[in-house]
Structure 1
Amino acid sequence: MGIKYYPAESKADAVALYRSRPGATIKSVATDLGVSPETLRNWIRAAEGRSSGSPCASATAATAVELVVS
């Protein structure tokens, strides 16, 4: 099975659906949408501005530019 492409709008809609269901689990929403729980979890992390392995929020654009220039 290859990698599937999901448009940004579809990802945003999935994250919004998850957030609109206070008691829902990632697994239940992912099942409803027909995607894997890990896929939905990654979309949620991306929407929060975090990478999957990062324990804190990602650097701002200005900080990132400073790190690249240094």
Structure 2
Amino acid sequence: MTKRYPPEVREKAVRLVLERLDEFESPYAAAKAIGPLVDVHYEMLRVWVKKALTHGSQPSAKGSVDLSAAEREELARLRKENRDLKQANEILKLASAFFARELDPRQR
């Protein structure tokens, strides 16, 4: 039996993969790593990401700016920290939505 995912879960999961795509060697590897974090099967997530990429949801290209080595390192560190915090927030939002549905007395 297949599991139905709400559209907001799908959108957030795909956005997480697209934001972190540059950290992995392929969309498959990204989906396999991020899928369990958002409670979505990695193969389903891979299909969603593949569809999003073919429809033009490419990750934003980074422009080249003349920065010193120290500034580049700090920028890279801050981008990674920002990405990690956004990912943690998305996971917490998904978890709270899941538990809200589970605890909803109207669902029983």
TM-score (norm 2): 0.39
Residue in structure 2 matched with residue 19 of structure 1 by the alignment: 18
Residue in structure 1 matched with residue 37 of structure 2 by the alignment: 32
Q: CA deviation at 1:39?
A: 0.7
Aligned-residue RMSD, C-alpha:
1.8
Unaligned runs of 5+ in 2: 25-29, 56-108
Partner-residue secondary structure (3-state), 2:23: coil
1:46 pairs with 42, 46, 51, which one?
51
Residue in structure 1 matched with residue 104 of structure 2 by the alignment: none
What letter matches 1:28 in structure 2? A
Unaligned runs of 5+ in 1: 51-70
Runs (4+) off by over 2 Å: none
Once the two structures are superposed, residues 32-67 of structure 1 have per-residue CA deviations (whole angstroms, 9 ceiling, x without a partner) of 1122211100111222347xxxxxxxxxxxxxxxxx
Give the Cα separation in 2 of the matches to 1:48 and 1:42.
10
Greater fraction of residues in helix: 2
Residues 18 and 49 in structure 2, CA contact (< 8 A), matched pair in contact too: no
What letter matches 1:19 in structure 2? L
Give the Cα separation in 1 of the matches to 2:2 and 2:37.
20
Residue in structure 2 matched with residue 9 of structure 1 by the alignment: 8
RCO greater where, 1 or 2, for CA within 8 Å and sep 6 or more?
A: 2
